[in-house]
């Protein structure tokens, strides 16, 4: 799972190359080149992938994505069928879209569900949109569920983690293209450290502490 951070995510190289080629070709026709150059610049900013400072300690749950906190609630984990605290991070098209492990863990289960492409900011997106979930077992045997959810524009969830793989806290494990959401289902006794509306950064923001 080692990933060299080349500033631009490898998932975007093809898109950026195609956008650049279209922009260069369109430059022969001055009157139509501007939109293609804007598309190229959008692709470069969307697929940026900077390295991150890993925050916290062994019981810290880190944000798995850049974005804004849109949900904090007590609910049932729909995958493990147990009480949980749900924390959701919404990513707009201007956020970095690499996804990172929220804690040092081993991947114990993986679920993929095809679905709709509703606005990822809506609560029902958690259960109706295309999504990929991981059951993460921490070093002290706690379970956290981390769910990548496609959005209104996002049409491709990339998840490289497989059962039995160990992930370090903040390690990159996936990517979602063009606007999306990540849900965390935490043990009910977790101490949440963020509030609704707060902007968070993947691996660098502590969203909760395990007891």
Q: Where are the alpha helices (DSSP H) in 47-168?
A: 125-128
Q: Which of 98, 101, 180, 201 is an active site residue?
A: 180
Residue in this structure with the two tokens 């660098």, named with its chain if needed: 204
The yes-or-no answer on residue 190 being catalytic is no
For 35, left (φ over 0), alpha (ψ -120 to 50), or beta? alpha
**Rounded Cα gap, residues 145 and 121, in angstroms:** 19
Of residues 145, 170, 140, 164, the one with CA closest to residue 59? 140
**Residue 19 CB coordination number (10 Å):** 20
Residue 127 phi/psi, 5-degree rounding, is -110, -15
Round to whole Å and give the CA distance between 173 and 62: 14
DSSP reduced 3-state for 16: helix
Catalytic residue IDs: 180
């Amino acid at each position: 799972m080692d990933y060299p951070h080349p500033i631009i995510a490898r998932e975007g190289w093809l898109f950026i190359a195609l956008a650049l080629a279209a922009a260069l070709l369109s430059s022969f026709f001055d009157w139509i080149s501007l939109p293609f150059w804007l598309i190229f610049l959008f692709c470069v900013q969307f697929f940026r992938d900077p390295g991150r400072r890993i925050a916290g300690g062994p019981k810290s749950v880190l944000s798995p994505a850049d974005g804004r906190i849109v949900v904090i609630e007590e609910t049932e984990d729909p995958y493990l069928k147990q009480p949980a605290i749900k924390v959701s991070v919404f990513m707009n098209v201007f956020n970095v879209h690499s996804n990172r492990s929220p804690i040092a863990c081993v991947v114990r289960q993986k679920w993929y569900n095809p679905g709709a492409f509703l606005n990822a900011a809506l609560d029902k997106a958690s259960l109706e949109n295309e999504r990929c979930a991981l059951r993460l077992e921490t070093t002290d045997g706690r379970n956290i569920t981390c769910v990548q959810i496609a959005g209104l524009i996002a049409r491709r969830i990339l998840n490289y983690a497989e059962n039995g793989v160990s992930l370090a806290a903040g390690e990159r494990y996936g990517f979602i293209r063009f606007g999306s959401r990540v849900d965390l289902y935490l043990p009910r006794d977790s101490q949440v450290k963020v509030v609704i509306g707060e902007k968070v950064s993947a691996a660098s923001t502590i969203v909760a502490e395990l007891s």
